[in-house]
Amino acid sequence: MSAAVPSLAVWKFASCDGCQLSLLDCEDELLAVAGAVRIAHFLEASSQVEPGPYDVSLVEGSITTEHDVERIHEIREASGTLVTIGACATAGGIQALRNNADVTAFTDIVYARPDYISTLATSTAIADHVPVDFELRGCPIDRGQLLELITALLAGRRPRVRQHSVCLECKQRGTVCVMVAHGTPCLGPVTHAGCGALCPAYGRGCYGCFGPMHHPNPPALRSTLVDLGMPSRDIARLYQTFNAASPEFAEAARQEERA
């Protein structure tokens, strides 16, 4: 951190705004955070915009236009620490479902005048374009993890964000395994922790919104899902949501197309 009060910038690319909203949802801590950092660029919250450089940039959203390719390079250039927040920024988001489709056909379906629309054929993660110092997973990110990240950066230490699977969070929470006990298909064994194993606590299987854990094993999970009677098409759909373009989930979905 270069200054006594570090500057914070928040940037948006293709996204739903939910991850930067997570910062405004830290109702108990927001005014304390606003006192500990200088909010230099955060359009959703403030019309005061300061020029860079910025000590910390939080980046939400994926890259889907030529202009945004240029913009992310400018932001990287102006930022000390660059952190990507959420599934769009870390994996391309649900809009990456276009990556294996014909984007011209997509434009034709949604827009009456496709010639008015300029878009790239792909939706890609920020790290596909510029070096990223840290990433927070999730669709949306977890508020607790965001506060830990900001606290750690202010203290000059590495954030404590665990990389194990959702399964461990179920055990910590004392939730009975929905797959073993109820035969409910669940992506928990291959999904990155961080949500606190919410879905199983509500009696549904994890749907993978935090993306792949470190070194997941989808083939092992596959045999269980098949035993539960899930057709390949449904298993593929399970991997093809908010983290569809993450290498591990993309490969797992391709396996189903071959099956």
Partner 1 sequence: MTHRTNTRVLSVEALARVEGEGAMHLTLDGDTITDLRLEIYEPPRFYEAFLRGRSYTEPPDITARICGICPVAYQSSATQAIEDACGVVIPEDIRMLRRLQYCGEWIESHVLHVYLLHAPDFLGYHSAMEMAADGHRDVVARGLRMKKIGNELLETVGGRAIHPINVKVGGFYRAPTRRELRAHLDDLRWGRDAAAETVRWVAGLDFPDLEFDYEFVALADPDGRYPIDTGRVVSNTGIDIAVQQFGDYFEEFHVRHSTALHGRRRNGGSHRDGHYFVGPLARWALQADTLPESVAAVAREAGLSAAERNPFRSIVVRAVEVLYAYEEAVRIIEQYETPERSAVDVPPRAGTGHGISEAPRGILYHRYTIDDEGTITDAVITPPTAQNQPTIEDDLRRFAGDHLHLSDAELQWRCEQAIRNYDPCISCSTHFLTLTVDRR
Chain positions contacting partner 1, by CB under 8 A: 12-22, 24-25, 27-28, 30-31, 34-35, 39, 42-49, 64-65, 68, 93-95, 97-98, 101, 103, 105-107, 109-113, 116-117, 119, 123, 139-140, 195, 198-199, 201-204, 207, 209, 234, 237, 241-242
Which residue lies nearer to partner 1 by CB, 82 or 195? 195
Single-letter amino acid code for the residue at 239: Y
Least distance (Å) between residue 153 CB and partner 1: 18
CB of 232 to partner 1, least distance (A): 13
Q: Kindly state the smallest distance separating residue 251's Cβ from partner 1, in Å.
A: 20
Name the phi and psi angles at 173, rounded to 5: -80, -15
Supply 81's token pair: 């620490």
For the record, the structure tokens of 227 come out as 């035993």
Distance in angstroms (rounded) separating the CA atoms of residues 210 and 155: 26
Nearer to partner 1, 39 or 152 (CB): 39
Q: Which is nearer to partner 1, 39 or 133 (CB)?
A: 39
Q: How far is the CB of 215 from partner 1 (least distance, A)?
A: 25
140 neighbors 24 (Cβ within 8 angstroms): no
Task: Name which of 158 and 173 has its Cβ closer to partner 1.
Answer: 173
The nearer residue to partner 1, 104 or 217, going by C-beta atoms, is: 104
Nearest to 100 by CA among 126, 121, 128: 121
DSSP string of 88-130, one letter each residue: HHHH--GGGGGGGS-HHHHHHHH-S-GGG----S--B-GGGTS
Phi-psi region of 164 (alpha: psi -120 to 50; beta: other; left: phi over 0): beta
